[in-house]
Amino acid sequence: MNINNKQITLHDMCLRDGMHAKRHQISLTEMISLATALDDAGVPLIEVTHGDGLGGNSLNYGFAAHSDEEYLSAVIPLMKQARISALLLPGIGTVNHLRMAHELGVSTIRVAAQCTEADVTEQHIALSRNLGLDTVGFLMMAHMLEPGELLEQAKLMESYGANCIYCTDSAGYMLQDDVYARISALREGLKPETEIGFHGHHNLAMGVANSLTAVEAGASRIDGSAAGLGAGAGNTPLEVFNAVATRMGATTGVDVFKLMAAAEEIVVPLMDQPIRVDRDSLVLGYAGVYSSFLLHAKRAAEKYGVPSEQILLTLGQMKTVGGQEDMIEDVAINLAKGK
Amino acid sequence: MVNNKVNIAIIGSGNIGTDLMIKALRSPMLNPEWMVGIDPDSDGLKRARSLGLKTSDAGINELLRHVEADKIQIAFDATSAYAHREHNDKLQSKGVKVIDLTPAAIGPYCIPSVNLERLMASDNQASPINNFNMVTCGGQATIPIIAAISQVQGVEYGEIVATIASKSAGPGTRKNIDEFTRTTASAIEQLGGAKQGKAIIVMNPATPPLMMRDTVHCLTETTPNQQAITDSVLAMVKQVQQYVPGYRLKNGPVFDGNRVSVFLEVAGLGDYLPEYAGNLDIMTSAALGAGEMLARQLSGQPQTHIE
């Protein structure tokens, strides 16, 4: 594999996807300490939002320790070089949340949709672009579409005004060939000036390998999180990817040792549980289930006395998608009833 | 009865408009006279023609030319929140009462099992109600449950998650996704009685398509009275079933501290889209219920009660 001299923009997910692994309870002090360390290491983009995006505070997904406004206001003014992004899922957050994030100074809005439903993002992508923001279309659960179909959805987002399109492996299900086929299709079919990104989950321990393949196929933005803090078995561990990509001759602009230090000294002590490929997260990756379901399923398993991997497998069979956390308790109740 | 039927028009030839037309053709009170759309190739307009309605693909303006001659008294708008304001102004200028199936929320919210009778009673010549807003499909499915809980005790916070099959969500619904969440959240407060409301909508692309699912989560102000809440929810489910037979309680009420959760499913009658599209039925059946009650009022007939 040759990625020599490729320019890669790293995007850290600890303070958004990592919120899932922390039940959205990251404190302002912890946010500030990690964001400033990532900034100091040269990470160019850091996402700060409730795990389920702007407006994600809810009984369904969990109430965060602080509001999105509080998190963004605490972090943004302290950044020396890093830019801050916010995630928005239409159906959960609205353009009102987008305007709030813009006023607080985010540089980037990532509008996320189930990969088959790109047409729900029109008003949000258009507004973000009109506000002059770096505007990303984020196609989730991208393993569910064939490359050509994924391209059609990506083109919709591009036509609404997105300047970057992500292939998002929300279930950590993809293998390298899956990534190569999808990123290549996007690279060939989208405008040359449209950037391509890849967001991985490490449920099959493929985060780093898949991200390298994405770069080889034409992606220039890679999501990951220091020490992997993210939903499921976590995101692509960013300090590992940065070290590997640097050795392979790619340019990230991120200090290998400073990022290692942030992962080791700040993120790992933050973890409530080890972020690793345990049985449940392996089930997520194997069966193609949305990674954020993990902790909700463990909680429901405990409450109703049923195996968490059974809950996750059932959710996979039901073909649930991101956002359907409400079905976790429903499935657990049915399993407990022996249905 | 036939002589007393009130002539109606349907604006919008998409999923909701077409399902509504099929149901309205069975109504003892309503006579669907017109359907207008803007897509000459739409399946809805073709069906309307084959079922004997007058149709046009020139939208609202063509309909307006015929309102007086065809004695259109009620119009159902199944287009989009963006188009609705203009439609409403034009229809009202011709004296047509409007039932709004978009989340535009110009007129008062209307959920049959919660406030239809109260609304109709307050619609009089001194202060007429000329526009009734049917909230959203998710709101029709969930707000009755929140209202049932608030009838027992105070609800601090009410939240709903509506999941619909991708195939049942037409372009209007997709363009109006923000209006869906805002209008539903506001109606959770106004009609559901929750101090604060939140709404979430998810579209699921699975094949075969999944049945509409709706989940209600509430936080009660004090420790929930489990028996009273359960009784109230069960009674409300029965009431909604009177106009949406496929409305089902799947699980719950489940109690966890002050959290009360109720898991629902809505199967449709399969009139236009197959039965998975309960989101169409709950909307069109509710709108039809409102339209029939309005028609009785317009033709001076005594109201029958929902219960």
pLDDT digits (tens, 9 = 90+) for A171-205: 999 999 999 999 999 999 999 999 999 999 999 99
- Are A96 and A213 found together in one domain? yes
Residue A86: Cβ-neighbour burial (10 angstroms; 0-12, 13-18, 19+)? buried
- Are A306 and A158 found together in one domain? no
A2 assigned to some structural domain: no
Closest residue by Cα to residue B158 from B135, B190, B201 = B190
Task: Tell me what pLDDT residue B127 has.
Answer: 85
- Are B154 and B100 found together in one domain? no
Nearest by CB to A326, which of B204, B205, B215? B215
Interface with chain B: mutation pick from A98, A120, A127, A156, highest number of B CBs within 10 Å = A120
B262 assigned to some structural domain: yes
Q: How many domains does chain A have?
A: 2
- Are B87 and B194 found together in one domain? no
Task: Tell me what pLDDT residue B91 has.
Answer: 96
Nearest by CB to B202, which of A124, A321, A334? A321
B230 assigned to some structural domain: yes
- Rounded distance between C-alpha atoms, residue B199 and residue B184, angstroms: 6
Taking CB atoms and an 8 Å cutoff, what residues of chain A touch B171? 119
What CATH code is carried by the domain that includes residue A330? 1.10.8.60
Residue with tokens 């709706």: B214
Task: Tell me what pLDDT residue B300 has.
Answer: 79
pLDDT digits (tens, 9 = 90+) for A283-319: 999 999 999 999 999 999 999 999 999 999 999 999 9
User: Which tokens in the block code for residue A9?
Assistant: 């923009």
Q: How far is B138 from chain A (nearest CA, A)?
A: 12
- Rounded distance between C-alpha atoms, residue A325 and residue A317, angstroms: 15
Phi, psi of B44 (to 5 degrees): -60, -45
B306 assigned to some structural domain: no
A242 assigned to some structural domain: yes
Residue B69, number of CB atoms within 10 A of its CB:
7
A140 assigned to some structural domain: yes
- Rounded distance between C-alpha atoms, residue B258 and residue B147, angstroms: 16
What residues contact residue A70 under an 8 Å CB cut-off, 6+ apart?
A28
Task: Tell me what pLDDT residue A339 has.
Answer: 64
Residue B54, number of CB atoms within 10 A of its CB:
16
* Three-state DSSP state, B292: helix
Q: For residue A112, is pLDDT > 80?
A: yes
Q: How far is A124 from chain B (nearest CA, A)?
A: 9
Task: Tell me what pLDDT residue B196 has.
Answer: 98
Q: Which domain holds residue B203?
A: 137-277
Label residue B122 by pLDDT band (50, 70, 90).
Answer: confident
pLDDT digits (tens, 9 = 90+) for B167-189: 999 888 898 899 999 999 999 99
- Are B236 and B129 found together in one domain? no
A283 assigned to some structural domain: no
- Are B34 and B123 found together in one domain? yes
Q: E-assigned strands of chain A? A: 9-12, 45-47, 83-88, 108-114, 134-140, 164-168, 195-199, 221-224
Nearest by CB to A116, which of B166, B180, B210? B166
Mean pLDDT of B69-74: 96
Interface with chain A: mutation pick from B82, B161, B176, highest number of A CBs within 10 Å = B161
Taking CB atoms and an 8 Å cutoff, what residues of chain A touch B261? 59, 326, 329
- For CA atoms B288, B290, B296, B300, the dihedral sign is negative
A121 assigned to some structural domain: yes
Q: For residue B257, is pLDDT > 80?
A: yes
Domain boundary among A238, A269, A300: A269
Q: Which domain holds residue A305?
A: 292-337
Phi, psi of B196 (to 5 degrees): -135, 140
- Rounded distance between C-alpha atoms, residue B158 and residue B196, angstroms: 6
- Rounded distance between C-alpha atoms, residue A282 and residue A27, angstroms: 29
A324 assigned to some structural domain: yes
pLDDT digits (tens, 9 = 90+) for B155-165: 999 999 999 99
ipTM of the complex, rounded to two decimals: 0.95
Q: For residue B2, is pLDDT > 90?
A: no
Q: How far is B215 from chain A (nearest CA, A)?
A: 7
- Rounded distance between C-alpha atoms, residue A152 and residue B243, angstroms: 40
* Bridge partners, residue B218, by sequence: B158, B260
Residue B48, number of CB atoms within 10 A of its CB:
26
* Bridge partners, residue B196, by sequence: B157
Q: Is A225 annotated as a binding residue?
A: no
Pairing of strands A45-47, B72-77: unpaired
Taking CB atoms and an 8 Å cutoff, what residues of chain B touch A60? 159, 161, 200, 215, 217
- Are A17 and A93 found together in one domain? yes
Per-position DSSP letters for A120-176, written without gaps between them? GGHHHHHHHHHTT-EEEEEEESGGGS-HHHHHHHHHHHHHHT-SEEEEE-TTS---H
What CATH code is carried by the domain that includes residue B261? 3.30.360.10
Task: Tell me what pLDDT residue B176 has.
Answer: 85
Per-position DSSP letters for B39-71, written without gaps between them? -TT-HHHHHHHHTT-EEESSTHHHHHTTTTTTT
- Are B98 and B195 found together in one domain? no
* Three-state DSSP state, B145: helix
* Three-state DSSP state, A177: helix
Count of A–B CB contacts within 8 Å? Answer: 100
- For CA atoms A272, A273, A274, A280, the dihedral sign is negative
- Are B114 and B162 found together in one domain? no
B87 assigned to some structural domain: yes
Put simply, the answer to whether A60 touches B217 (Cβ < 8 Å) is yes
User: Which tokens in the block code for residue B219?
Assistant: 């936080």
Residue B237, number of CB atoms within 10 A of its CB:
18
Q: For residue B150, is pLDDT > 60?
A: yes
Label residue B26 by pLDDT band (50, 70, 90).
Answer: very high
pLDDT digits (tens, 9 = 90+) for A320-334: 999 999 999 999 999
Q: For residue A238, is pLDDT > 60?
A: yes
Taking CB atoms and an 8 Å cutoff, what residues of chain A touch B252? 333
What CATH code is carried by the domain that includes residue B27? 3.40.50.720
* Three-state DSSP state, A231: coil
What residues contact residue A197 under an 8 Å CB cut-off, 6+ apart?
A11, A136, A164, A165, A166, A167, A219, A220, A221, A222, A223
Interface check for B25 against chain A (CB to CB < 8 A): the answer is: no
Label residue B1 by pLDDT band (50, 70, 90).
Answer: very low
- Are B96 and B117 found together in one domain? yes
- Are A226 and A323 found together in one domain? no
Chain centroid offset of residue A129 CA: 21
Angle at B212 between CA B208 and CA B216, to 5 degrees: 145
Put simply, the answer to whether A91 touches B215 (Cβ < 8 Å) is no
Task: Tell me what pLDDT residue B175 has.
Answer: 86
Task: Considering the candidates A11, A20, A50, A202, report the single residue annotated as catalytic.
Answer: A20
- Are A242 and A331 found together in one domain? no
Residue B222, number of CB atoms within 10 A of its CB:
9
- Are A242 and A299 found together in one domain? no
Percentage of residues of chain A with pLDDT beyond 70: 100
A286 assigned to some structural domain: no
B225 assigned to some structural domain: yes
- Are A47 and A100 found together in one domain? yes
Interface subset of B 176-235, CB within 8 angstroms of A? 177-178, 180-182, 198, 200-206, 210, 213, 215, 217, 219
Average confidence score pLDDT of chain B: 93
- Are B291 and B258 found together in one domain? no
Put simply, the answer to whether B202 touches A324 (Cβ < 8 Å) is yes
Q: For residue B46, is pLDDT > 70?
A: yes
Q: E-assigned strands of B172-300? A: 194-204, 212-220, 247-256, 259-266
Q: Which residue of B has its CA nearest to A317?
A: B206
Q: How many domains does chain B have?
A: 2
B126 assigned to some structural domain: yes
Put simply, the answer to whether A59 touches B174 (Cβ < 8 Å) is no
- Are A124 and A252 found together in one domain? yes
Q: For residue B166, is pLDDT > 80?
A: yes
- Are B104 and B7 found together in one domain? yes
- Are B186 and B253 found together in one domain? yes
Task: Tell me what pLDDT residue B307 has.
Answer: 44
Mean pLDDT of A116-126: 97
What residues contact residue A107 under an 8 Å CB cut-off, 6+ apart?
A45, A83, A84, A85, A133, A134
Put simply, the answer to whether B161 touches A324 (Cβ < 8 Å) is yes
- Are A201 and A304 found together in one domain? no
- Are A172 and A249 found together in one domain? yes
Average confidence score pLDDT of chain A: 97
- Are A161 and A225 found together in one domain? yes
B304 assigned to some structural domain: no
A281 assigned to some structural domain: no
Task: Tell me what pLDDT residue B173 has.
Answer: 84
Catalytic residues of B, by residue number, are 137
Label residue B304 by pLDDT band (50, 70, 90).
Answer: low
- Are B123 and B167 found together in one domain? no
Put simply, the answer to whether B163 touches A92 (Cβ < 8 Å) is no
- Are B156 and B240 found together in one domain? yes
B307 assigned to some structural domain: no
Half-sphere exposure of residue B222: CA atoms within 13 angstroms, side-chain side: 4
Per-position DSSP letters for A245-268, written without gaps between them? HHHTT-B----HHHHHHIIIIIIH
What residues contact residue B296 under an 8 Å CB cut-off, 6+ apart?
B29, B302, B303, B304
Contact A111, A125 (CB under 8 A): yes
Task: Tell me what pLDDT residue A134 has.
Answer: 98
